[in-house]
Structure 1
Amino acid sequence: MSTIPPHYSDRYVGQRFNKALHIVQHLSPSSSFQPTKEQKLELYALYKQAAQGNVDTQRPGIFDVVGRAKWDAWKKLEGLNSLEAKYRYVEVLLRVAVEVCI
Protein backbone atom coordinates (compact mmCIF):
# COMPACT_ATOMS: atom_id res chain seq x y z
CA MET A 1 0.00 0.00 0.00
CA SER A 2 1.37 3.40 -0.99
CA THR A 3 2.00 6.10 1.57
CA ILE A 4 2.32 8.77 -1.11
CA PRO A 5 -0.46 11.38 -0.85
CA PRO A 6 -2.76 11.02 -3.86
CA HIS A 7 -2.25 14.63 -4.94
CA TYR A 8 1.55 14.17 -5.30
CA SER A 9 2.57 13.67 -8.92
CA ASP A 10 5.43 11.38 -9.91
CA ARG A 11 7.31 14.46 -11.06
CA TYR A 12 6.83 16.22 -7.71
CA VAL A 13 8.07 13.19 -5.78
CA GLY A 14 11.08 12.97 -8.10
CA GLN A 15 11.91 16.65 -7.61
CA ARG A 16 11.72 16.34 -3.83
CA PHE A 17 13.88 13.20 -3.97
CA ASN A 18 16.53 14.96 -6.06
CA LYS A 19 16.62 17.88 -3.61
CA ALA A 20 16.91 15.48 -0.66
CA LEU A 21 19.75 13.63 -2.41
CA HIS A 22 21.57 16.90 -2.94
CA ILE A 23 21.25 17.76 0.76
CA VAL A 24 22.53 14.36 1.89
CA GLN A 25 25.40 14.31 -0.60
CA HIS A 26 26.59 17.74 0.54
CA LEU A 27 26.39 17.28 4.30
CA SER A 28 29.51 18.49 6.03
CA PRO A 29 30.95 16.00 8.52
CA SER A 30 31.14 18.84 11.05
CA SER A 31 27.50 19.84 10.57
CA SER A 32 25.07 19.34 13.45
CA PHE A 33 22.60 18.06 10.86
CA GLN A 34 23.68 14.43 10.80
CA PRO A 35 21.56 11.31 10.41
CA THR A 36 22.18 8.51 12.89
CA LYS A 37 23.88 5.33 11.66
CA GLU A 38 20.45 3.68 11.44
CA GLN A 39 19.05 6.59 9.44
CA LYS A 40 22.07 6.54 7.11
CA LEU A 41 21.49 2.85 6.52
CA GLU A 42 17.80 3.46 5.82
CA LEU A 43 18.63 6.30 3.43
CA TYR A 44 21.17 4.08 1.66
CA ALA A 45 18.68 1.25 1.22
CA LEU A 46 15.93 3.57 0.00
CA TYR A 47 18.32 5.20 -2.47
CA LYS A 48 19.40 1.83 -3.85
CA GLN A 49 15.79 0.66 -4.16
CA ALA A 50 14.79 3.91 -5.88
CA ALA A 51 17.75 3.88 -8.26
CA GLN A 52 18.21 0.16 -8.99
CA GLY A 53 15.17 -1.72 -7.78
CA ASN A 54 15.45 -5.01 -5.95
CA VAL A 55 18.85 -6.16 -4.75
CA ASP A 56 20.49 -8.26 -7.47
CA THR A 57 23.83 -9.11 -5.93
CA GLN A 58 24.96 -11.82 -3.55
CA ARG A 59 25.01 -11.05 0.14
CA PRO A 60 28.51 -9.96 1.24
CA GLY A 61 30.55 -12.32 3.35
CA ILE A 62 30.44 -12.42 7.13
CA PHE A 63 33.63 -10.37 7.48
CA ASP A 64 32.21 -7.47 5.45
CA VAL A 65 30.07 -6.15 8.30
CA VAL A 66 29.23 -2.81 6.68
CA GLY A 67 28.50 -4.29 3.25
CA ARG A 68 26.34 -6.94 4.83
CA ALA A 69 24.34 -4.39 6.84
CA LYS A 70 23.76 -2.32 3.70
CA TRP A 71 22.73 -5.38 1.70
CA ASP A 72 20.34 -6.56 4.43
CA ALA A 73 18.72 -3.12 4.68
CA TRP A 74 18.26 -3.00 0.91
CA LYS A 75 16.94 -6.56 0.78
CA LYS A 76 14.20 -5.66 3.29
CA LEU A 77 12.79 -3.24 0.70
CA GLU A 78 12.38 -5.91 -1.96
CA GLY A 79 9.24 -5.29 -3.98
CA LEU A 80 9.00 -1.59 -3.10
CA ASN A 81 8.56 0.47 -6.25
CA SER A 82 10.95 3.28 -7.14
CA LEU A 83 8.47 6.10 -6.56
CA GLU A 84 7.56 4.87 -3.09
CA ALA A 85 11.25 4.49 -2.22
CA LYS A 86 11.88 8.08 -3.32
CA TYR A 87 8.97 9.32 -1.23
CA ARG A 88 10.17 7.42 1.84
CA TYR A 89 13.71 8.74 1.36
CA VAL A 90 12.41 12.30 1.61
CA GLU A 91 10.31 11.39 4.65
CA VAL A 92 13.35 9.95 6.45
CA LEU A 93 15.33 13.11 5.74
CA LEU A 94 12.47 15.26 7.04
CA ARG A 95 12.36 13.14 10.20
CA VAL A 96 16.10 13.74 10.68
CA ALA A 97 15.54 17.48 10.30
CA VAL A 98 12.78 17.47 12.92
CA GLU A 99 14.92 15.48 15.36
CA VAL A 100 17.85 17.87 14.92
CA CYS A 101 15.70 20.97 15.38
CA ILE A 102 13.90 19.80 18.52
Structure 2
Amino acid sequence: MELQQQFEQAVANSKTLSEKPSNEILLQLYSLYKQATEGDAAEDNAPANPFDFVGKAKFNAWSELKGKSKEAAMQAYVDLVQKLKS
Protein backbone atom coordinates (compact mmCIF):
# COMPACT_ATOMS: atom_id res chain seq x y z
CA MET A 1 0.00 0.00 0.00
CA GLU A 2 1.25 3.48 -0.87
CA LEU A 3 2.32 5.75 2.01
CA GLN A 4 -0.43 8.31 1.29
CA GLN A 5 -3.06 5.55 1.51
CA GLN A 6 -1.51 4.17 4.70
CA PHE A 7 -1.57 7.68 6.17
CA GLU A 8 -5.23 8.21 5.26
CA GLN A 9 -6.11 4.82 6.76
CA ALA A 10 -4.17 5.68 9.93
CA VAL A 11 -6.07 8.97 10.22
CA ALA A 12 -9.35 7.03 10.01
CA ASN A 13 -8.07 4.44 12.49
CA SER A 14 -7.00 7.13 14.96
CA LYS A 15 -10.66 8.11 15.33
CA THR A 16 -11.69 4.58 16.33
CA LEU A 17 -9.10 3.75 18.99
CA SER A 18 -10.48 1.63 21.84
CA GLU A 19 -9.35 4.14 24.45
CA LYS A 20 -8.51 7.83 24.35
CA PRO A 21 -4.74 8.44 24.19
CA SER A 22 -2.98 10.65 26.74
CA ASN A 23 -2.63 14.36 26.04
CA GLU A 24 1.04 13.79 25.18
CA ILE A 25 0.12 11.20 22.53
CA LEU A 26 -2.67 13.43 21.20
CA LEU A 27 -0.13 16.24 20.78
CA GLN A 28 2.17 13.85 18.89
CA LEU A 29 -0.67 12.80 16.60
CA TYR A 30 -1.69 16.42 16.01
CA SER A 31 1.84 17.65 15.27
CA LEU A 32 2.66 14.74 12.97
CA TYR A 33 -0.63 15.23 11.11
CA LYS A 34 0.01 18.97 10.66
CA GLN A 35 3.61 18.37 9.53
CA ALA A 36 2.46 15.69 7.08
CA THR A 37 -0.34 17.79 5.60
CA GLU A 38 0.97 21.37 5.83
CA GLY A 39 4.73 21.18 6.35
CA ASP A 40 6.67 23.38 8.77
CA ALA A 41 4.72 25.57 11.18
CA ALA A 42 4.83 29.26 10.29
CA GLU A 43 5.01 31.88 13.02
CA ASP A 44 1.78 33.45 11.78
CA ASN A 45 0.02 30.19 12.76
CA ALA A 46 0.92 30.78 16.41
CA PRO A 47 -2.06 31.60 18.65
CA ALA A 48 -2.37 35.32 19.28
CA ASN A 49 -4.17 34.93 22.60
CA PRO A 50 -1.59 34.53 25.40
CA PHE A 51 -4.15 32.53 27.41
CA ASP A 52 -4.75 29.96 24.67
CA PHE A 53 -2.67 27.32 26.41
CA VAL A 54 -4.01 24.42 24.34
CA GLY A 55 -3.38 26.26 21.07
CA LYS A 56 0.11 27.20 22.25
CA ALA A 57 0.92 23.59 23.21
CA LYS A 58 -0.31 22.35 19.83
CA PHE A 59 1.68 25.00 17.95
CA ASN A 60 4.85 24.26 19.97
CA ALA A 61 4.53 20.51 19.34
CA TRP A 62 4.14 21.18 15.61
CA SER A 63 7.07 23.64 15.61
CA GLU A 64 9.36 20.98 17.12
CA LEU A 65 8.99 18.97 13.90
CA LYS A 66 10.39 21.78 11.75
CA GLY A 67 12.50 20.33 8.95
CA LYS A 68 10.91 16.86 9.08
CA SER A 69 9.76 15.85 5.62
CA LYS A 70 6.08 15.28 4.91
CA GLU A 71 6.83 11.65 4.08
CA ALA A 72 8.73 11.08 7.34
CA ALA A 73 5.88 12.68 9.30
CA MET A 74 3.33 10.48 7.50
CA GLN A 75 5.33 7.35 8.30
CA ALA A 76 5.75 8.36 11.95
CA TYR A 77 1.99 8.99 12.18
CA VAL A 78 1.20 5.58 10.64
CA ASP A 79 3.64 3.86 13.02
CA LEU A 80 2.23 5.64 16.08
CA VAL A 81 -1.39 4.75 15.23
CA GLN A 82 -0.41 1.11 14.60
CA LYS A 83 1.29 1.06 18.00
CA LEU A 84 -1.80 2.53 19.68
CA LYS A 85 -4.13 0.01 18.02
CA SER A 86 -2.14 -3.00 19.24
Q: Do residues 46 (structure 1) and 35 (structure 2) align? A: no
Q: Read off the aligned partner of 2:81 and give its amino acid letter.
A: L
**Residue of structure 2 aligned with 1:37, choices 23, 29, 49:** 23
1:58 offset after TM fit, Å? 4.4
Residue 13 of structure 1 is matched in structure 2 by 3
The 3 A distance-change label for structure 1 pair 58 and 14 is closer
- Alignment coverage as a number of residue pairs: 84
> Structure 2 length normalisation: TM-score?
0.85
Greater Cα radius of gyration, structure 1 or 2: 1
- Structure 1 gaps of 5+ residues are 1-10
Aligned position for 1:96: 84
- Report the Cα offset of residue 59 of structure 1: 2.6
Task: Compare the two structures and name the one with the higher helix fraction.
Answer: 2
Looking at both structures, which has the greater relative contact order when contacts are Cα pairs under 8 Å and sequence separation is at least 6? 2
Structure 1 runs (4+) deviating above 3 angstroms are none
- Residue 68 (structure 2) pairs with residue 80 (structure 1): yes
2:46 is matched with 59
Over the matched positions of the two proteins, sequence identity in percent amounts to 35
Give the unaligned 5+ runs of structure 2.
none
TM-score when normalising by structure 1: 0.73
Aligned-partner Cα distance in 2 for 1:40–1:34: 9
